[in-house]
Structure 1
Amino acid sequence: MSEKHLQTGDVLPPYSGKLRVFAMRFCPYAERTVLTLNAKNIPYDLVFINLDQKPEWIFNFSPKGTVPALEYEPGKALFDSNIINVYLDEKYPEIPLQASDPLRRAQDKILVESFAPAQSAYYTAAFNAQALEPSMVETYHKGLEGLQKELETRSTKYLHGDEPGWVDYTLWPFLERFEALPLIGKAEFAIDKTKYERLVTYIEAMKNVPAVKSYFLAAETHAKFIESRAKGDANYNMLDTSAVCCMRPRKKKE
């Protein structure tokens, strides 16, 4: 699979008949859908999009040009990771990822919502050059503390249970990126094992989950992308080895 991100003027690759995900390699929301597909062993194709120079055809699949978008039939697509992932779990029930108990499903959704402020704090810390407000750091750690408390309360290896599920694959992409913050000079966002022992154990376990491992990027890689984006020149193709020798496809002449 090429890691190249298609951009304005690039031709839409032909549809293979598999589900097709339009994504950006460093987008945590797109990663949620990739992990869901991986966990459920559903065949799919990936098309990466340059979000600064979007190809014209992405708006046929996602009205705002956001990712992820899931093409489930030729020319027909869903967008928004939460909508896509619930659809996938219900459409392909062989490996269920949502909790079977309605109350636990509701609790999982509440947990995801309550973690959102920590995610917002991450974006501010990563891409805002201005000095951070102490309240932003507090919000971030409050999210981590809440997640650790939930892990302790549930007393299971993963939030879903003995195996990871929807709630784990929804939260994980941000935890993966959180580890990059100290590498870009944001030491106050470090996940200290002495304070977050249960959470760190969970993070290390998630890294070894097959669905995660096949798409995982190290903190150093995320840090490099964050730095490039913060400078205003996001290096979308930093992982694409084919970009060195291959020219991007051009728009057909009329």
Structure 2
Amino acid sequence: MSEKHLQAGDVLPAYNGKLRLFAMRFCPYAERSVLVLNAKNIDYDLVFINLDHKPEWIFNFSPRGTVPALEYEQGKSIFDSNIINAYLDEKYPEKPLQASEPLRRAQDKMIVENFAPAQSAYYTAAFNPQNLQSDMVENFHKGLEGLQKELEVRGTKFLHGSDAGWVDLTIWPFLERFLCLPLIGKTEFAMDSSKYGLLLAYIEAMKTVPAVKSYYLAAETHAKFTESHAKGDPNYNMLDTSAVCCMRPRKKKE
């Protein structure tokens, strides 16, 4: 899989019959769908998109040009991580990721909903720090406290149970990115081990989940991308070392 992000003027790769997910490597919403595909062991292709210079054809799969978008048949797609992941869980039921009981499914959705303010605070802190307000920091920690309390009440390794499920894979991409905030100077977002011991243990457990482990990026990597974004030139291809190697010979030939 290439980590190169395709942009305006680039040709759409040939369709080879597999499910194809259009994503951006540093997008938490796209990661949600990647994790569900991984957890279900579905064979799929992944195409990364430069969201600042979008290829013209992405609008054929996602009317707003957003990611993720899933091409389920050639030229046919659905978009939005919640819609995609619900579709995948119903289309491929062999390994269900949602709880079997209606009440627990509803409770899981409430966890995700209650966690949303923490996600919003993260986006402001990382990409619009000039608009960061004290109540956003409070909302961030309220979200973490609520998550830790839920872990205490459930008493299981993961929120889903002994294995990670939909609720875990939905909130994980943001927890992964939260860890980079102190590295970019936002120390008020640090997770103190004396306060968040159970949550930090959960985070370490999530890193070992096969679906997560194969796609996980360290906090330092997220910090570097965030810093490049702050400078006005997001380095989408910072992980594409193969592309860098391939570019060098071309320059010598010119």
Q: Secondary structure at the match of 2:126?
A: helix
Task: Compute the displacement of 1:43 (Å).
Answer: 0.4
**Using CA pairs below 8 Å that are at least 6 residues apart, which structure has the higher relative contact order?**
1
Q: Secondary structure at the match of 1:22?
A: strand
Alpha-carbon distance between aligned partners in 2 of 1:18 and 1:225, rounded to the nearest angstrom: 30
Q: Secondary structure at the match of 1:158?
A: coil
Name the structure 2 match of 1:190. 190
Task: Compute the displacement of 1:131 (Å).
Answer: 6.1
The structure carrying a bigger helix percent of its residues is: 2
Contact 2:124 2:131 in 1 (8 A): no
Task: Compute the displacement of 1:137 (Å).
Answer: 0.6
Task: Compute the displacement of 1:246 (Å).
Answer: 3.1
Name the structure 2 match of 1:124. 124
- 1:199 and 2:202 correspond: no
Q: Secondary structure at the match of 2:47?
A: strand
Alpha-carbon distance between aligned partners in 2 of 1:71 and 1:185, rounded to the nearest angstrom: 39
Q: Secondary structure at the match of 2:246?
A: coil
Q: Taking structure 2 as the reference length, what is the TM-score of the superposition?
A: 0.96
Contact 2:33 2:81 in 1 (8 A): yes
Name the structure 2 match of 1:33. 33
Contact 2:21 2:68 in 1 (8 A): yes
- Give 4+ residue runs of structure 1 displaced > 2 Å after superposition: none
Contact 2:8 2:54 in 1 (8 A): yes
Q: Report the identity percentage.
A: 81
Task: Compute the displacement of 1:244 (Å).
Answer: 1.3
Q: Secondary structure at the match of 1:160?
A: coil
Task: Compute the displacement of 1:191 (Å).
Answer: 1.0
User: Structure 2 matches for 1:236-247, cutoff 5 A?
Assistant: 236-246=236-246
Deviations 1:214-235 (A, max 9, x none): 0000000000000001111000
Deviations 1:171-209 (A, max 9, x none): 000000000000000001011111001100100000000
- 1:156 and 2:156 correspond: yes
Alpha-carbon distance between aligned partners in 2 of 1:115 and 1:190, rounded to the nearest angstrom: 17
Task: Compute the displacement of 1:16 (Å).
Answer: 1.1
Unaligned regions of 5+ residues in structure 1, if any? 248-254
Distance of aligned partners of 1:16 and 1:106 in 2 relative to their CA distance in 1, 3 Å threshold: same
Task: Compute the displacement of 1:25 (Å).
Answer: 0.2
What amino acid sits opposite 1:182 in the alignment? P
Q: Taking structure 1 as the reference length, what is the TM-score of the superposition?
A: 0.96
Q: Secondary structure at the match of 1:238?
A: coil
Unaligned regions of 5+ residues in structure 2, if any? 248-254
Alpha-carbon distance between aligned partners in 2 of 1:129 and 1:96, rounded to the nearest angstrom: 39
